[in-house]
Chain A
């Protein structure tokens, strides 16, 4: 299915990009603005398609799991470097708190990364001021690693806290327009975490902020 969606999108994104680069001649500002909107809408559509493909692969049991060594501190460093361009467009502080006693984890590194990046970009999106923090620690009781993403953002009301993990849902339906996004990130994240034998939970207070906590077993049994 992915092939059929991506082929025409490839042409839309590519030609738009070439026009914006001025390959076919200088583009006047009003046209440039319209082209930029075609470009951002096409990218939005691509993100949606990728998300829907992810969900359908998970639901069909066709999402492969690749278990390997995962050093959480390195992974967090990598993730922070990747979201840095987003952070620099805000006034937010991104903090990290990594416990020194973290064991090497046997899990699907790429999936943990996808989930944490989703949580971080959400936190950055829904926090107008203050900070966003990523913390990682070892939980002896469950023999698992806990990664928590906290923010001082708008928070999520009690009655919305279960709903936001559903497909195409953000806490406030008007926020989809205000904040962008398809509302699929958390539902994919929760599915992925379940595949990894872990849990994704939320504590939040409106106006104070949110903490999303991801826990995965130290060793994922295949």
Chain B
């Protein structure tokens, strides 16, 4: 899927020489493109994937700085995709922010067991997602 680049002066990122690359994984296009638009506006680079297979392909190919993973995906779901990423040498250190519409208890535990580093519940405003991403990227 599309990948956009933009020269920026964002100062909250981990790498000084280039903006962080975030892989957004969500099967609902409206939400995915909404977050992409906002993160790009905030000076990040964004790649997108609409299902678990694409997510894995993109992750291995691009080695992004962070992955936002919707958990309910067609095919390989977000939990399984995260487990595979965390089991692979190339991608195991990439932080994964789980994103879900399920507010039920148990989901966040399941996501952490799969290896997700943070957990965000929809509805999640773009600015809330951005601040979570910055927090995770700033973590040692």
Interface residues of A (CB under 8 A from B): 2-3, 6-11, 13-15, 17-18, 21, 23, 46, 64, 66
Contacts and interface: CB of A to CB of B under 8 A. Distances in A.
B31 A17 contact: no
A18 B30 contact: no
A8 B126 CA distance: 14
B22 to A, nearest CB: 16
The 6 A-B residue pairs whose C-beta atoms are closest, nearest first, are A6-B101, A3-B101, A11-B30, A10-B123, A10-B122, A14-B34
Contact of A7 (B35, B122, B126): B122
Interface in B9-39: 28, 30-31, 34-35, 37-38
Nearest to B71: A3
Contact of A14 (B101, B103, B126): B126
B93 interface: no
A10 B72 contact: no
A9 B102 CA distance: 13
Contacts of A21: 127
A18 B31 contact: no
9 contacts: A3-B101, A10-B123, A11-B28, A13-B125, A14-B34, A14-B126, A15-B30, A23-B38, A23-B41
A6 B123 contact: yes
Nearest to A3: B101
Interface in B106-140: 122-127
Contact of B38 (A7, A18, A64, A66): A18
Contact of B72 (A3, A46, A66): A3
B56 to A, nearest CB: 23
B10 to A, nearest CB: 15
B7 interface: no
Interface in B83-113: 101-105
B34 A6 contact: no
A6 B123 CA distance: 6
A2 B126 contact: no
Given A6-B103, A14-B124, A15-B30, 16 more contacts: A2-B102, A10-B31, A10-B122, A11-B28, A11-B30, A11-B34, A13-B123, A14-B125, A15-B34, A17-B125, A17-B126, A18-B34, A18-B37, A21-B127, A23-B37, A64-B105
A8 B72 CA distance: 14
A10 B101 contact: yes
A64 B72 CA distance: 22
Contacts of A64: 105
A7 B101 contact: yes
Contacts of B101: 2-3, 6-7, 10
A18 B123 contact: no
A9 B38 contact: no
A14 B31 contact: yes
A64 B106 CA distance: 10
Nearest to B34: A14
A6 B31 CA distance: 11
B31 A2 contact: no
A146 B104 CA distance: 29
A83 to B, nearest CB: 21
